[in-house]
Structure 1
Amino acid sequence: MSQNTPKLLDIIALTDDIPEYNLLRGQVGTIVELLADGAAFEVEFSDKNGQIYESVGLTSAQIMVLYFEPA
C-alpha cells in the first residue's frame, strides 16, 4: 500500500466543498470505514469536543491524506 493510499483511521482534509453537507474544502476528518473495496471511504467529522457532526461517504478524489514523516 502506497503512503498516499487512504486507509482506515487516516486523517484527511477535504479537497473540495461539499455544500449538501455544509462541509468546506480543508475541513479535517477521519476515515472510519473502507467502502467499495477501498474505492470509497466513510469519513467522520468531529468538533473540538469529539462530537461527530457529519459522517459522509467520499471518494479518493475528494480527500487528501494528512501525514507527518519525521526527519
Structure 2
Amino acid sequence: MIQKPELYDGVELLVDLPEYGLFAGMQGTVIDIHRQDAAYEVEFANQQGEAINFVALRLEQFVVIWRARSGKWVPITDRIADLVARLPEAAGSEVLDFARFLNVQTVRNGQHKPLVTPLAS
C-alpha cells in the first residue's frame, strides 16, 4: 500500500529530476500539500542543512521514510511493501524470489533462525 505523507514527513526520491539537480535516493521534507493530495511540496537540503531546492512532487515520485508525528522511521518492511506495490506484477515476483533467496542464505549462514521449525519425526 502506498503511504501518503503528512506535513514535515521525510521522503526519499524514487526518480531522477536532473533539471532540479535532484536524483533518486535523495531525501527531503514535505513542507506543503496541494490540491487534495495531488502534489506535495518537498524541500531538499544539502549536508549543511541549507535548502537547495523546493519541488512539487506527485505521490508516485517518492516514498515516505520518516513520520514527523511519531518521530520514528517508517519500518523497513513498510518501505519495501510501498515500493513493491508500485511495481508491475512480474517485477514484484522477482523481488519476492530475491527475498526468498536472501532468507535461505541467512538461515544457512546462521544469521537468523528459520521462520518455521521442522516437525520432529
TM-score between both structures, scaled by the size of structure 2: 0.52
Higher helix share: 2
Taking the aligned partners of 1:3 and 1:62, their CA distance within structure 2 comes to: 11
Tell me the amino acid that sits aligned with residue 13 of structure 2.
L
Paired residue for 2:47?
A: 48
Change (3 A) 1:60 1:49: same
Percent of residue pairs bearing the same amino acid type: 35
Taking the aligned partners of 1:29 and 1:7, their CA distance within structure 2 comes to: 13
Taking the aligned partners of 1:69 and 1:28, their CA distance within structure 2 comes to: 14
Deviating above 4 A after TM superposition, structure 1's stretches of 4 or more consecutive aligned residues are none
SS of match in other structure, 1:61: helix
Deviations 1:34-62 (A, max 9, x none): 01112210000011221100000000010
Taking the aligned partners of 1:38 and 1:8, their CA distance within structure 2 comes to: 11
Higher strand share: 1
> Does residue 23 in structure 1 map to residue 22 in structure 2?
yes
Q: Which structure would you say has the larger RCO, counting Cα contacts within 8 Å and 6 or more residues apart?
A: 1
CA RMSD, Structure 1 to Structure 2 (Å): 1.9
Which blocks of at least 5 consecutive residues in structure 1 are unaligned? none
The 5 A counterparts of 1:30-41 are 30-41=29-40
Which blocks of at least 5 consecutive residues in structure 2 are unaligned? 67-72, 76-121
Taking the aligned partners of 2:37 and 2:62, their CA distance within structure 1 comes to: 13
- The aligned length equals 69
